[in-house]
A and B are shown apart, each in its own frame.
Chain A
């Protein structure tokens, strides 16, 4: 069966060990979490965890059933094929040299990156988009002095019909 990336959204009680339970449930059974995004919802007692993991349909169903068993997990939803808005944010630090500066600024403008800080020898950029768009931007910036990155992981929300 074909493996692919799945986006799973969990509503959980906002308690200290819940993330460990969720991570342990996947890790303990040998499934990797590719990205993870966690924060409280509008109700501070409930958090939303959005994680992505790669697997076949059957594997993903097993993961969902295992997560569903956790007492602190209120709801498990697979958003992969649901109409959703999916976004990721990346912070990108670039090294600046006399040689690359101009080209970098041109590229940054073309890519729709936001410049957050700009010093003599480095700058920090922000980019928001789908995972694929983030991947593409990073690929483009790589030869232009990419120093370090921090990605938030995918956040996803169903569209309301």
Chain B
């Protein structure tokens, strides 16, 4: 059947199961918008900045495990998507971003709103395309979705010249062929590797599991839980993997690394076997490489061979999808009747319990000032741990990771790799659209929230009742913390006291807005704000110079943590 490119685009999106996309119009995509007007096959959310469109698509993808979709016009629309794309790329999130482009005969002419967006995004996409031939439109779109979600997921950009989407060509979904050379999953590792893993596990007295975003990306939560419980393995999870293993399980040690728990870092420093699944040994996690897990043999399971032996040289590399690997391991344990006994693990778990007792996650209460940690704890209590939390970047993000307990996968959504301020709020919109019945909260800082605050209008227009819990310290808090600790309190350009009245700003957009200035108001404000069906901003005026602890100094070993006022080494 003959169809216009714009129609083919929408047909392809439908075929991929896309139910919502986020975008912003302009000259080179006006035909797509015209098509959307006629054929509302896919719900389109008009954001107020293209960066937010990409973050929203990314938040949707993280919450659902499906591919998120964004659309922007050529030139400035396209360049505005770059931060969103780089954010998704660092965290391996499957999204497809469509950008408009000038007609093919003008490419290279410095035409109005022309920019080489495939060139610009080459290093920050998993793959990208400039579609030059209308006959290749449908197959390119199918390939783009396939690449975005397969193997190690990631963002794919498809650049659509105006004449390509205006052309009429044959469209037959049954005859779309994609180029399959690179699209299959990596080969299955040899069964011997798993046997070796089991031998190492049997020989180990102090085994530890470290899991990461790969468990969530690979939808391997159930398999992980049964493995950890059967082998009675303590589990530490990177920031990106929070929720994969229940935060309230006694085997869970919290996050490792720079702002991880003392006991997780001690466990890494003292374990004799570290089984790492779907984590990439980021420098925030390892600290000084030479002293990371110094006594351990390391097993690393990752779907991407380039993640293995990148930062840490490992003893047993296994290139595999997390779920496939864990299924194999669980079967092997079962076939060999392997279950760790309590007696076998007692000494090790007792030792960890000792570290936990010595330095649990904690903070000092204060009768005058709202402690941000207390806001997050109260939020956890009132939502019974069932909210989906997104975060901005900085101290707010770390407190959200430390003081809310995540028992379910995909309920903690945060920009870890790129650390993009302005991510959390638009991401929350994407999450809320996917899960309208869940409470969705962006835990924010006053610096970050100003980076995409314009999206308040989008929430009103479409009735997207997300909640913003603003931990307002009047500083770029995380940078201020570094200045306090490492630059003798020279607070250069981090004081943000000149700020709008956030309550008034939110109200001006039509939001519900509340403020708390004293600790005894925390609960009431959360109770009033969280359970309404309106978007609501809650402005918590928190203790201004609170620091995130524990902390590993940049470049130090993770066995040397600063725990607030006391130093702890071990």
Contacts and interface: CB of A to CB of B under 8 A. Distances in A.
Is this pair of chains taken from one and the same complex? yes
Interface of A: 13, 17, 20-21, 24, 28, 58, 61-62, 65-66, 68-74
B122 A17 contact: yes
A20 B122 contact: yes
A20 B152 CA distance: 22
A68 B304 CA distance: 10
Given A65-B306, A69-B306, A24 B181 contact: no
A122 B304 CA distance: 55
Contact of B181 (A65, A68, A74): A74
A141 to B, nearest CB: 40
Given A17-B130, A24-B122, A68-B306, 18 more contacts: A13-B179, A17-B119, A20-B122, A21-B122, A24-B123, A58-B309, A62-B306, A62-B309, A65-B306, A65-B308, A68-B305, A69-B152, A69-B304, A69-B306, A70-B127, A72-B182, A74-B181, A74-B182
Contacts, number: 38
Contact of B147 (A28, A62, A71): A71
Interface string B159-187: 00000000000000000000101100000
Tell me if A's interface is mostly helix, strand, loop or mixed.
Answer: helix
A10 to B, nearest CB: 13
Nearest to A65: B306
Which 8 A-B pairs give the minimum distances between C-beta atoms? A65-B306, A71-B127, A65-B305, A71-B182, A28-B123, A74-B181, A66-B306, A69-B306
A17 B306 contact: no
B240 to A, nearest CB: 19
Contacts of B313: 58
Interface residues of B, number: 19
Contacts of A61: 309
B310 interface: yes
A69 B119 CA distance: 18
Contacts of B152: 69
Contact of B118 (A17, A58, A66, A73): A17
Contacts of A71: 126-127, 147, 182
Contacts of A74: 181-182
Given A20-B119, A71-B147, A62 B310 contact: yes
B177 to A, nearest CB: 14
A69 B305 CA distance: 9
Contacts of B182: 71-74
Contacts of B122: 17, 20-21, 24
Which of B304, B305, B308 gathers the greatest number of chain A CB atoms within 10 Å?
B305
A58 B166 CA distance: 49
A5 B309 CA distance: 21
A61 to B, nearest CB: 7
